[in-house]
Chain A
Amino acid sequence: MRLKLILLLFIVCFGSSLSAQEKYLTKQGYISFYSHTSVEDIKAENNQVLSIVDISTGGVAITILMKSFVFEKALMQEHFNENYVESDRFPKASFSGKIMNLEEIISGDNTIARIKGKLTIHGITKPVEIESKMIVEESEVTLQGKFKIYVADYNIKIPRIVRNNIAEEVEVSFNLKHQPYK
């Protein structure tokens, strides 16, 4: 009897969350960054972004591997990994946050999500607020947008000799198409 009750409770508690799709996931998200200076433009792309969105709570969790960034020039990639973000010591960057205006997005009143959270790069965590285009469909949840980060905020040191080649402010673009997570 008691076992049945526990089982029933279990079904009531978790059954409802199983029926409605709440969590959406992608393992092939896209994030790129772009640094523009008069000397040279540097771009790197990462197509293996892991991102999870929970449309019941508005939670967003993103993790990326620094080594997955691909640059046009091998030398840039080497400097990025070895000298700037030290990806052997800090192999991952992550973001965890919350969509502040979730109801507006779900109801369709707004397509721009305000996401507040914490961004960790190079072992340093900073609070950030990001605006993102957000489309919620039954089969797909899309987050798309860009924001800027100051390299110095994350204790990334650029040697004087290449200071003119690398921008102090780097533009980060993201395009994350999440599928229902079973």
Chain B
Amino acid sequence: MKRIINIAGIVVVAGVLITLFIFVRLYNKPHTDVHSSRPIHQVTGKSIVDEFKNNEDKANDTYLDKVVEVEGTVKNIDTANGNGIITLGPDGYMESIICNMEPTENRKMLSLKKGQKIKIKGICTGFLMDVILIRGIIVK
């Protein structure tokens, strides 16, 4: 009888521990690691801007929250609130792709020049006057 109670006790404690472990794991689930994730879409700056301009709802469905790799020409390099920002622009467009960079990219950003062609990987959050990427990483 005692033995059964002991076993039942162990099972309950183990159950609680496992639940707690899963809960903590879930609660502390990491953010998408842009460094290691493969881009779901690879596009040129021009094509992604065109897609958002032509049909924003459709482009939202395609790109929102996805890791996107954009190839484009550096139009501007800036910082705001301590974050690096690279603006990629298709030539002759008012719209551009504003990439908010990860702090790990600060060093690489120093050697960038306007007019240079680069590839940036980041998470697309949508379109205001420009396409916006966050957690940006310089790929090439």
Contact = CB atoms under 8 A, between A and B. Distances in A.
B64 A88 contact: yes
Given A68-B134, A91-B64, A50 B31 contact: no
Nearest to B83: A47
Contacts of B43: none
B125 interface: yes
B134 A75 contact: no
A48 B125 contact: yes
A12 to B, nearest CB: 27
B60 A91 contact: yes
Interface residues of A, number: 23
Interface stretch (B9-17, B22-30, B106-114): B22-30
Interface residues of B, number: 25
Nearest to B127: A65
A2 interface: no
Nearest to B57: A91
Interface in B53-108: 60, 64-65, 78, 80-81, 83, 85, 98, 100
A63 B28 contact: no
Interface string B22-42: 000011111110000000000
25 contacts: A27-B128, A27-B129, A28-B78, A28-B98, A47-B83, A48-B134, A50-B128, A50-B129, A65-B126, A65-B127, A65-B132, A67-B126, A68-B126, A68-B132, A70-B134, A73-B29, A74-B30, A74-B32, A75-B26, A75-B28, A75-B29, A78-B29, A81-B65, A88-B64, A91-B60
- Nearest first, the 5 closest Cβ-Cβ pairs linking A and B are A28-B80, A67-B125, A65-B126, A50-B128, A68-B125
